[in-house]
Structure 1
Amino acid sequence: MRKKQATSSNRLPEKWFRRGLWLVAFVFAGFLIGLGGKIVGDLPQAAPYKDLQAYVNQQVYAPLQLEQTRLQSQQTQLQNVAEQNNLALQKQRNQTLSEQDSLNNWLATRSVTEQSDQNPEVIARTQKLDALKAQERKAQQQTEAVQQQQLDTEQRLAQVNTELAQLDEQAQVLKQADDRKIELRVFLYRLALTLPLLLIATYLFMKQRGSRWWPFVWGFIYFALFAFFVELVPYLPSYGGYVRYIVGIGMTLLIGRYAIVAMNRYLERKQAEEALPSSERQQQLSYDVAQLRITKAVCPSCERPTDFKNPALDFCPHCGIGLFDYCGVCQVRKNAFDHYCHKCGAVANDKL
């Protein structure tokens, strides 16, 4: 009795059916991925991140913020007053200099008596100049007073900003610790969702990938792989890279172990098959499997490269299985796995 093996048929309609079913598998996987993405996208809402202000001591922070706002407003007002005072001081200085120059020119061009200091006009001009200088000193004092207020405000504002920055740094430390907890919680939610999918996909791959419902099986497998590598792995907590490296090592060990076990099973199966007689091995090979491997120029049994174009080749030089025989009716050399003779159409001897 022939052993059934899943393979691609050489029938054209079946090839197109398979292509259509692969399309069904991808479409099915696409819808599952979309649904999974919606679910995973809503997971962060279960543990939302908090704003930095939630970790600040508001009893200390709020008064400092109010004072900061007041000092900034006061600083702006003082800047405007300082600009006005500077302009008034400069104007007063110009007026004093002008009056001084006028007095000096007037004294230089007139004839004065020995009692010129008692001249009423000289006295009046001198008194006017003294009044202008007094106004200039007053404007200078006002400007200096505003500058002192600006300096005091600037120093206090710098102190308030420093205290606020310290509170922000303390809050940032608390936020980072809480964010790591939330990140881990969200990751565990993702893991709880994707790990069962991956386990189910592993079971389906090992047990059901060749079943009649294989398009849905493969669609689910693609969905589980996408959920694992796209929705879970990029969100692995880092913790300095330790977690990701450990997970990577674990995945490599699991995949490597599966590959090694599969390779050893394959080699053991091939060794067991090669120990069987050629006729028995031919019966165990399905028609489609044999034809597919022949088209790839490999032995249908041991799958080693074989020169099928060699007219003298009747048996595999590697495992000894019969590759060509002769029709019992017309004696033409034909493929040993063909059901019918390509020359006369007679049924092969072993198919009777």
Structure 2
Amino acid sequence: MTTSQASSRPARLYQIASWIIAVIFAVFLNMLGNLVIRDMEFAPHGGPPTPEQFVNQATSQQLDARRHELQLQQDALTGKQETISAAATRAGKDYADAKEAFQNWIATRTATGNGAQDPDIIARTRKLDALQATVAKWEKQRDGISDEQHALEVQQTQVSEQIDQEQAAAQERFGVANQRYELKVFGYRLALTLPILLIAVWLFIRFRKARYWPFVYGFGLFALSAFFIELVPYLPNFGGYVRVLVGIVLTVFAGIYLLRVFQRYVDRKREEMQRSQSDRASAVDYDKALSAYGKKLCPSCDKSYGVGGEGATFCIHCGLKLFEQCGCGGRNFAFFPFCNQCGNPVVRTGAGNEISQ
């Protein structure tokens, strides 16, 4: 492709079509990856563990049976207590009614002779004593029921504590097993995605500027998708430490890479500034020159030449000649292939003063 064709409309369409091909290629690779993941046994046999798998069934059944038995006894005592309470209430009411009647009878009766020997008084007194004894009997039984209920509540509390301890132990065993399971799943997915990532990096380094670069970029997009969708969500947590450490490592590697890229850029520019202006001008890519012209930047040192004024001919930073005067009088950007006034080829003339470094 010639320089005059580099920024033509067909060239831009070619770039757009190439990126469309790269994206479509990545989409189909993702679909293929999803099919592979669907048909492969990624999860360890039996699937993820569940808390129920780590409960001691024999101990758990015994404790549940014991708790159920104590609850039945508690329910029976509650029913018995209700019956006794009702009987004690009735007995207490009977005693209170009889006592009140006796007191009224004594108050209205005219006693003759020795009242202590009065058979009526003796009979009524004995009846009150019997009623009082009945009330005391029911109250004693009610107190006994309360004592039994308290003893059962203590046993129920002990059984509940044993059940809680067993469940906590089972949960701890489940946590350990679940971490192992997550590591296995992550290992399986890492075994699939890591080679894809390495291949993508190798292809990008070796063939990113090759003729069929859309397929290289498409495979790279697929590798990134596999990394962030099929691997990162399955990264073990371990209290957050693993993900934080992975983030730190990735940040360090990315930072080192960017710093090296920037340092190479600075070294390259420093080396370019030591070359002659004609060599620097011939090394400038046409597309880069057009992009720099649109931003009013020098295509050699990447600094703004606009601060030198609208009529500046040379870059005030590196001395590169940026504009040429055509024989027809037209002023052209020095990297234009043809004059914008007469259409004749633009001829680069004197280079100006060299910048010593």
TM range (shorter): 0.7 to 0.9
Paired-residue identity, %: 38
Mapped partners of 1:109, 1:238: distance in 2? 91
Mapped partners of 2:277, 2:265: distance in 1? 19
1:97-246 equivalence runs, <5 A: 97-229=96-228, 231-233=230-232, 235-239=234-238, 242-246=241-245
Match of 1:291 in 2: 290
Query: 1:327–1:348: 8 Å Cα contact kept in structure 2?
Result: yes
1:46-85 equivalence runs, <5 A: 48-85=47-84
Mapped partners of 1:238, 1:303: distance in 2? 45
TM-score (norm 1): 0.82
Letter in 1 for 2:336: D
- Cα deviation code 1:297-322 (max 9, x no counterpart): 21112212222883542232333333
Mapped partners of 1:90, 1:264: distance in 2? 97
Mapped partners of 1:9, 1:76: distance in 2? 92
Check if 1:337 corresponds to 2:329: no
Check 1:142–1:336 CA distance in 2 against 1; reply closer, same or farther (3 A cut). same
Match of 1:248 in 2: 247
Letter in 2 for 1:164: I
- Cα deviation code 1:225-272 (max 9, x no counterpart): 344345534544344655445433432332233223322332333334
Question: Over aligned residues, Cα RMSD in angstroms?
Answer: 3.5
Letter in 1 for 2:130: A
Query: 1:279–1:322: 8 Å Cα contact kept in structure 2?
Result: no
1:12-27 equivalence runs, <5 A: 12=9, 14-15=11-12, 18-19=15-16, 22=19, 25-26=22-23
Runs of 4+ in 1 over 6 A off after TM superposition: none
Letter in 2 for 1:102: A
- Cα deviation code 1:167-190 (max 9, x no counterpart): 223223322222222222222223
SS in 1 for 2:112: coil
Relative to structure 2, which stretch is displaced further, 296-305 or 80-89?
80-89
Equivalent residues, number: 345
Structure 2: stretches of 5+ with no match in the other structure = 349-357
Query: 1:322–1:336: 8 Å Cα contact kept in structure 2?
Result: yes
Letter in 2 for 1:199: L
Check 1:145–1:334 CA distance in 2 against 1; reply closer, same or farther (3 A cut). same
Mapped partners of 1:221, 1:160: distance in 2? 60
Structure 1: stretches of 5+ with no match in the other structure = none
Letter in 1 for 2:88: L
* 1:100 positional shift: 0.9
TM-score (norm 2): 0.81
Mapped partners of 1:262, 1:148: distance in 2? 83
